[in-house]
Chain A
Amino acid sequence: GDSVTQMEGPVTLSEEAFLTINCTYTATGYPSLFWYVQYPGEGLQLLLKATKADDKGSNKGFEATYRKETTSFHLEKGSVQVSDSAVYFCALIMDSNYQLIWGAGTKLIIKP
């Protein structure tokens, strides 16, 4: 079945460091891809999405490019801040099915 694999955490970085969180997927068709963020004690918020190959989603300085050839959707940010500390989830959805398929989540810790 469809699945999402993302790098295990926690990922610990210093403020202003470059961030990459890897995400790869397996799907029988052409999914849309998402990154959600969960701040401590809060629910899930959509961070960015891409609906077709080569699309780049971006928001709040974060970017991810939908790479069909490598079935990947890696999350990047050029300069992280302490306020970016959260758990990040990669997810996919097929157009015919409203079920989001989730990765395990990656906890990001940013130290001042």
Chain B
Amino acid sequence: EAQVTQNPRYLITVTGKKLTVTCSQNMNHEYMSWYRQDPGLGLRQIYYSMNVEVTDKGDVPEGYKVSRKEKRNFPLILESPSPNQTSLYFCASSLKGLAGATYNEQFFGPGTRLTVL
């Protein structure tokens, strides 16, 4: 089954304790992205990757890191989490393709609900 998986689904942690949220897709997609969802703000992009070893900042990258060593995986790293990073996080992926961004549906993972105390 084609899917994007995220782990963990739920995480409660404390300020300053490094954590990693994993994201994996089995569709051979080039493009992957991380979003955070906050009430009243919709989703905001944190980082994205157009292909292996190619990553770039989105709109809210502060406090986050990513890596793209393999095509299928795109982990999100919080080196020193703070309470303002409490949020619902989504990973997404899509083909890059010659047709352009508008013709390639983005598939989303189930979300990771993070609470930083």
Contacts and interface: CB of A to CB of B under 8 A. Distances in A.
Nearest to A89: B42
From B43, B44, B96, name the one whose CB has the most chain A CB atoms within 10 angstroms: B43
Contact of A51 (B31, B40, B44, B102): B102
Contacts, number: 60
Interface stretch (A14-22, A76-84, A92-100): A92-100
Contact of A43 (B31, B40, B44, B109): B109
B75 to A, nearest CB: 18
B111 A99 contact: no
B110 A98 contact: no
Interface of B: 31, 33, 35, 40-45, 48, 50, 58, 90, 92, 94, 96, 100-103, 105-106, 108-111
Interface of A: 4, 31-32, 42-46, 49, 51, 89, 91, 93-100, 102-105
